[in-house]
Amino acid sequence: MPKPVAVLVEDDEDQFEVSSDVLLKAGFRLHAFRAVEPALAFLRTTSDRIDQGIEDLIDLFVLDRRLPARVGESSLDELGDGLLSQVRADWPDARLVVFTGYATVSHLQVTLQGGGQLPCRSGQPLDRIKVLTKDQSLEFRNEARAYRSLLQELEDVEIRVEPAGSLDPRASRMLRRLAFEYGATSVGATPLGGGLTGAQVWRCELSGAQGLLATIVAKKVKRPSLPSGLAELLPLGSAASTVASISGLLGGGYVNVIRVAGTNPTDLMTTLASDPVRALLLIQPLRHALGQIASSQLRQSVSEICESLIGWSELATILGRHSVETPSGTLSATVEVGLRHGDLHPANLMIDGTNAVLIDHDSNTFAARVIDPVTLLISTLVHPDSPIRGGDWPSSEEIRSSFMTPAFASRHSHQAWFSGVLEWVIDAKASDRELWALVLAYAGRQLQYDDVLEDREVVDRLIAICETAVAGLEATNL
């Protein structure tokens, strides 16, 4: 297993040698720089490689407060402070040690603000950000050793992945950090479908010396989970609640820990691929539960209806790139507004026992009742994990002639799924304008994602859906 990575930026010759020696002897792989600009260039490249899964995370930054922009130039506090701010923003849960010869109270307050402490199982927690003067070499040595010992506890956790395969550094750290949080020494992990954001979702069996401790679902997210109003309104079996959000030593972000009831949860996308009829049956209780949430009938403009998905001017800009003319956003429509998921797709539905359960409902919104079945239907065509995406169906001509009608998918192996979700759409819509506005907004929004733009067939299908939606809106003016 590779050693953890440390970055040192120090222009003082003697301190550079002392700090390098301490970090190497503590067991870190070291990238050392004597000025700000080469350090930033390295960090930009490394960040891209980490995102691609081909570079290990950086766990420790050791920075001088007073640094030059380039080797040989004058050293300034402002340059060191700027580097510190950049590191804090881009590496939000890495550990930082800041050396200064001018440890004023105001500087200490700014440096330490919001740093917090690192997770630990026992003993005295380590501060995430530590300020030292340059004569505190013994303290620095102790800090480096203690932090390396903490990282070793993470490295000691065993990971078993099904199906077997390599893990990128972020996934490996996430699973070890999860086990560390619950005192487990081993984690058996099965990947579940993620969303369009590429979020990592895993079913995890956490085990200790005495055997299995717990089975949970874990999802890597950008911000901690907040209590979800939607989950509280749905029956217990329709939404999996988030019981904890874990941070620190993750390479940025958080892990949401989601309660499950079944012993072998899977994602709906897998079921949809093998048995679309069963997938349709599994979502019926959730459809019913979402339909029971209170709503109010209002009159809104189509731009207001679409606001929960995308701003109307932004939508017009995206569609303009594909020669699709956006109709007026002032068209008035009847809409049923209530608390909705807002971006429902098969990858954020988990099969927990015999139910399809929401596992991603942190961004629920007040929106049209029909938004959930609309996003569920269209996402089946465009989601990167969908068994439909990438095939030779549907053609643009089929979309223009039969999309959102019972004839759509009549010759396809997943006809039952599309017919069933379409039935949900028709049952949920309050007006044709409401429906076509949301179809246009959701399909158009997908045309900004890289994984979509790289697939010409998917782009052509989305353009056809948008053109069909525009025609649908225009037909309501007749």
Query: Where does 353-419 show beta strands of DSSP type E?
Result: 355-358, 365-368
Question: What is the predicted pLDDT for the residue at 451?
Answer: 87
Coil vs helix vs strand at 228? coil
Question: Do 95 and 69 form a contact (C-beta atoms < 8 A)?
Answer: no
Q: What is the DSSP letter of 241?
A: P
Say whether 115 sits in a helix, a strand or coil: coil
User: What does the domain layout of the chain look like in residue ranges?
Assistant: 5-152, 158-258, 266-475
For the chain, the residue count is 478
Run of H or E residues at 191: strand 186-192
The pLDDT of residue 230 is 73
**Per-residue model confidence (pLDDT) at position 196:** 43
pLDDT at residue number 110:
64
Indicate the helix (H) or strand (E) that contains 344. Answer: none
Q: Which amino acid is at 397?
A: E
Pick the CATH number of 5-152 from 3.40.190.10, 3.40.50.2300, 3.10.20.340, 3.40.309.10: 3.40.50.2300
Give the list of residues 6+ apart from residue 62 with CB closer than 8 angstroms, or none: 6, 7, 8, 9, 10, 19, 23, 96, 97, 99
Write the pLDDT tens digit of every residue in 239-294: 777 778 888 898 888 888 877 656 667 778 888 988 999 999 999 988 998 999 88
Instruction: Tell me which architecture the domain covering 266-475 has in CATH.
Output: Alpha-Beta Complex (3.90)
Sign (positive/negative) of CA torsion 359, 362, 363, 366? positive
Share the mean pLDDT of the chain: 87
Q: Which residue type occupies 215?
A: T
Q: How far is Cα 137 from Cα 40, in angstroms, rounded to an integer?
A: 26
The predicted pLDDT at position 218 comes to 87
pLDDT, average across residues 311-324: 96
Ordered alpha helix ranges (H), 127-213: 137-155, 169-181
pLDDT tier at 445 (50, 70, 90 boundaries)?
very high
Tell me: cis bond preceding 92? Omega within 30 of 0 counts: no
Q: Is 75 exposed, middle or buried (0-12, 13-18, 19+ CB in 10 A)?
A: middle
3-state secondary structure of 182: coil
DSSP letters, 258-281, are E---SSS-EEHHHHHHH-HHHHHH
Q: What is the mean pLDDT of residues 221-236?
A: 68
pLDDT of the residue at 225: 61
| DSSP type of residue 3 | P
Which residues does residue 257 pair with via DSSP β-bridges, in sequence order? 218, 244
Which of the four pLDDT bands, split at 50, 70 and 90, describes residue 197?
Answer: very low
How far apart CA 405 and CA 380 sit, in angstroms, is 16
pLDDT band of residue 102 (cuts 50, 70, 90) is low
How far apart (Å, rounded) are the C-alpha atoms in residues 145 and 341?
47
Cβ-based neighbours of 180, under 8 Å, separated by 6 or more: 119, 121, 153, 154, 157, 249
